[in-house]
Amino acid sequence: MCCSGGWCRIALKINEGDVFLSITSEQVDLSPLNTFKVAAKAKYFLIVDSLAAIRSALPVIQQHNHRLVLGGGSNILFISDFDGLVIYPQIKGIDLLHQDDNRVRISVGASENWHQLVLTCLKNGWYGLENLALIPGSVGASPVQNIGAYGVEVKSFIHQVEFIDLDSGEVKLFAKGDCQFGYRDSFFKRATPGRYLITRVEFELQKKPDLCLSYQPLKTFFAGLSDVTPTMVMERVCQIRREKLPDPDDIANAGSFFKNPVVSESQFERLKQEYPQMVGYATASGVKLAAGWLIEHAGFKGMTEGDIGVHKHQALVLVNYGEPKGRKIWHLAKRIQRAIQEKYHVQLEAEVRVIGHDQ
């Protein structure tokens, strides 16, 4: 056992692997572990590097009712210290399970980096994930909000999800159909926070490219080209993302702060009469509006207030130029929600998970 910088790191050797319990008597600083770079401390903090490690740490985990599973921290806003246990899995590995001429099935540890997985798949000739390149975060978080971009959602490639119920200790496998995937939504997103920890995700990918170029900027860019490859799509997606979205390493942010709201057809018709430029996309549950458009036309795009603001190119992204308090970002988000409600009678729902108490 060794202690440094207020940390005590205990390695317990058990049969199946190592359990690393990182416990501190002081609070653990979470600011390097969230892309909003806000200051927050975890009262307790636990690193586990395998399913076996989690199982043997269950008595410790179950002492805490208030838990949070933390991946890359790119979809989280801490608005206060976390007065419970933060579990920070470090489960790695990409295993090839099965392949034939057309398909390949792989099992990926929850803590693998998402973008690196996309690149590894392309290198191996496993296709499908290319439109989801450069999304920050971990593989384990990808089913939680069914990550999506440029016309593709991860659910299309998920075969099953392995997770552990931290309340009962039961390990479960959910097939795609059990995960209740929706737009930035799933069973895991709706579950009691900190109850389920995803350990591995199985993906089924194609060996023959089946490109999705339905997103207009991709369609336009590749129009007339007959030899487009998945790598070209990945590169174009990265280029568009770099132009449009602030890199959290340069300007702290958590991507789109709000989901695109879905309204009824009749409400959309009423809105169109008042705002003829407003764009809507028909979906099975109604008409999806562009939250960025609503925020921009309510006058928030590019605004700054002290060290926080709304990104100048993308109104859906709230940014932090150096403010340590997540609460201030949350107050701005709530002001935007109220303004959108008053102007358009549309309720904006946060896509980012807001953690902590607002006092």
Report, as residue numbers or ranges, the catalytic residues: 184, 256, 351
Q: How far is the CB of 143 from ligand FAD (least distance, A)?
A: 8
State the pairing for strand pair 262-263/353-355: unpaired
Residue 136 as a binder of ligand FAD (CB under 6 A): the answer is yes
Which residues, 234 to 273, sit near ligand FAD by CB under 6 A?
245, 248, 253-255
Q: How far is the CB of 217 from ligand FAD (least distance, A)?
A: 14
Nearer to ligand FAD, 160 or 271 (CB): 160
Reduced to 3 states (helix: H, G, I; strand: E, B; else coil), residue 78 is strand
Residue 138 as a binder of ligand FAD (CB under 6 A): the answer is yes
Q: Which of 51, 129, 133, 140 binds ligand FAD (CB under 6 A)?
A: 140
- How far apart are the C-alpha atoms of 212 and 134, rounded to whole Å? 16
Name the one range near ligand FAD by CB under 6 A: 11-19, 134-142, 206-214, 328-336. 134-142
Closest by CA position to 119, among listed 74, 186, 108: 108
Binding mask 316-345 for ligand FAD (x = CB under 6 A): ------------------------------
Instruction: Decide: 159 and 204 in contact? Cβ < 8 Å.
Output: yes
- How far apart are the C-alpha atoms of 154 and 146, rounded to whole Å? 6
Structure tokens of 128?
A: 């499908």
- CA distances in angstroms from 90 to 49, 102, 111, 135, 346, listed in the order given: 4, 32, 5, 19, 40
Structure tokens of 44?
A: 């307790």
List strand residue ranges (DSSP E) for 166-298, in order.
Answer: 171-175, 196-206, 252-256, 262-263, 280-283, 286-289
Q: How far is the CB of 142 from ligand FAD (least distance, A)?
A: 5
Q: Which of 30, 112, 129, 137 binds ligand FAD (CB under 6 A)?
A: 137
Instruction: Decide: 230 and 176 in contact? Cβ < 8 Å.
Output: no
Residue 280 as a binder of ligand FAD (CB under 6 A): the answer is no
Binding mask 171-190 for ligand FAD (x = CB under 6 A): -----------------x--
Structure tokens of 78?
A: 């801490």
Which residues, 29 to 68, sit near ligand FAD by CB under 6 A?
35, 68
In what helix (H) or strand (E) does residue 36 lie, and over which residues does it extend?
none
Query: Cα 112 vs. chain centroid, distance in angstroms?
Result: 13
Residue 292 as a binder of ligand FAD (CB under 6 A): the answer is no
Binding mask 91-110 for ligand FAD (x = CB under 6 A): -------------------x
Name the one range near ligand FAD by CB under 6 A: 92-100, 147-155, 165-173, 226-234. 147-155
**Positive or negative, the Cα torsion across 183, 187, 191, 193?**
negative
Residue 164 as a binder of ligand FAD (CB under 6 A): the answer is no
Rg (CA), the chain: 21
In what helix (H) or strand (E) does residue 18 lie, and over which residues does it extend?
strand 17-24
Name the one range near ligand FAD by CB under 6 A: 2-10, 46-54, 195-203, 297-305. 195-203
- Write out the residues near ligand FAD by the rule CB under 6 A: 35, 68-76, 89, 110, 135-138, 140-142, 144-145, 147-149, 188, 196-198, 245, 248, 253-255, 353
